[in-house]
Amino acid sequence: MILVTGGAGYIGSHCVRELQERGMDVVVYDNLVTGHIESVPNGVPFVKGDIFDVELLRQTFRKYGVDSVIHFAAYSLVGESMSNPAKYYHNNVAGTLALLDAMIAEKVGYLVFSSSAATYGDCGNGLITEDSPQNPTSVYGQTKLMMEQFMQDYDKAYGLKYVALRYFNAAGAHRSGEIGEAHNPESHLIPIILQVANGKRDHIGIFGEDYPTPDGTCVRDYIHITDLADAHIRALDYLKQGGKSTHYNLGNGNGFSVKEVIDMTEKVTGLSIKRAIEPRRAGDPATLVASSEKIKRELGWKPQYDSLESIISSAWKWHSSHKNGYDKD
Ligand code: UFG
């Protein structure tokens, strides 16, 4: 049985769907602070709980016979992490320590961990490999890096086997049209642009036009949520077959600027998107683009949504039919 923390969140819920579709046993553990109960599929057990609650975690591990954890539960906004670092260190770092305590006490030995491209910081304009230096520019990235470091030490001392997946920018929605991206308030680029397309916002603010990139706006590597989910399942299989703890980047290997993403959204939706230049957002590196060769080579992972157009089309299918996310339209 696999326990998914944050399984009612954006990335977690898509991974749960994928696990369920492949007939794997899964229990969702989520405090519903940012997650949505509506995203938990029928037939999947749900435990409302906090990752700080070691007792509840231990009981849940025993009750369901959990042998592995996929850990998504975390706050994940770069901008907010700069203005409220306490929230991030407390929840992401201390919360993960509590989860690891529960895992070690109950001898749950496999962990797939949701890490981030934000652990790298500014790496220049080249492709980032797993060996690129990790110097986060945001508190959020710093918390993810600290968690990776704990896991390394816990592997050496307690034999915890983990895979840390460093995602670049997750986007898109499930092909069923039943689940998708819904943050409140929304802060991510693609959903905000789609809210402009939906008429829910007047315009998209572009955070900075003076970065050292071809058009001056930040460049990111967008990766479809279903491709991310598939990587988690491969990583877990790998660990269960005796694989050593390791790290993988997950991206498409193509960088798109904020302006290019807006232009592509105009193409996909056929609508004109009003834009305005605003100041830089604290903590944003200029360019983050992945080399994902390692996971392709070692785990046979291959993204199915390999164009920005297919990723934005998938997101638009969800946003155009769920203008208010999981709330009734
Ligand atoms: N941006 C804007 N205007 C907006 C929102 C975003 O210009 O209204 C810009 C940002 O400045 C950034 C880019 O669009 O340059 C993408 O921003 P997102 O907030 O969508 O994503 P981030 O790159 O900040 O962060 C995301 C996840 C993190 C993850 C990171 C890894 O939120 O959890 O990708 O790259 F760590």
pLDDT value at residue 187? 87
pLDDT at 329 > cutoff 60: no
What pLDDT, on the 0 to 100 scale, is given for residue 5?
A: 98
Here the tokens at position 18 are 């994928």
The residue among 129, 59, 57, 64 whose CA lies nearest residue 97 is 57
CA distance 199 to 180: 19
The DSSP bridge pattern shows strands 256-257 and 219-220 to be antiparallel
284 CB within 6 A, ligand 1: yes
Ligand 1, atom 27: closest residue by C-alpha: 169
pLDDT for 54: 97
pLDDT of residue 196: 96
- Of the residues 140, 162, 167, 211, which is catalytic? 140
Write out pLDDT tens, residues 242-257.
Answer: 999 999 999 999 999 9
For residue 120, report the distance from its CA to the centre of ligand 1, in Å.
14
Listed residue (169, 168, 115, 124) closest to 142, CA to CA? 115
What are the angstrom distances between the C-alpha of 5 and each of 12, 71, 136, 190, 210?
A: 7, 5, 24, 25, 38
Which residue out of 196, 207, 223 has the highest number of ligand 1 atoms within 8 Å of its CB and is therefore the one to mutate? 207
**CA-based max dimension of the chain:** 56
pLDDT, mean of residues 76-87: 92
Rounded average pLDDT over 93-115: 97
Give the pLDDT confidence score for residue 325 in this predicted structure.
82
Q: What is the pLDDT of residues 308-326, one digit of tens each?
A: 999 999 999 998 888 888 8
Residue 109 has pLDDT above 90, yes or no: yes
- Cβ(216) – ligand 1 distance below 6 Å: no
Q: Tens digits of per-residue pLDDT, 170-191? A: 999 999 888 888 878 888 999 9
For atom 28 of ligand 1, the residue with the nearest CA is 76
Average pLDDT of the segment spanning 271-293 = 93
Is 294's pLDDT higher than 80?
yes
Confidence of residue 328 (pLDDT cuts 50, 70, 90): low
Please give the model's pTM, rounded to 2 decimal places. 0.94
d(CA 94, CA 74): 11
Matching residue, tokens 């470091």: 149
d(CA 232, CA 250): 10
- Our answer on whether the CB atom of 169 is closer than 6 Å to any ligand 1 atom is yes
- Other C-beta atoms within 10 Å of 317: how many? 17
Burial (CB count within 10 angstroms: exposed 0-12, middle 13-18, buried 19+), residue 304: exposed
Backbone phi and psi for residue 132, each to the nearest 5 degrees, phi listed first: -65, 150
**Could you give the angle at which helices 308-321 and 189-197 cross, rounded to 10 degrees?**
60
Q: What is the pLDDT of residues 46-68, one digit of tens each?
A: 999 999 999 999 999 999 999 99
Q: pLDDT of 136-157, one tens digit each?
A: 989 999 999 999 999 999 999 9
Average pLDDT of the chain, as a whole number: 94
The Cβ of residue 215 has, within 10 Å, a number of other Cβ atoms equal to 13
Instruction: Determine which helix (DSSP H) or strand (DSSP E) holds 283, and give its type and residue range.
Output: none
Shortest-distance atom of ligand 1 to CA 117:
31
* Residue 177 or 125, more confident: 177
Strand order in the sheet with 219-220: 256-257, 219-220, 287-288
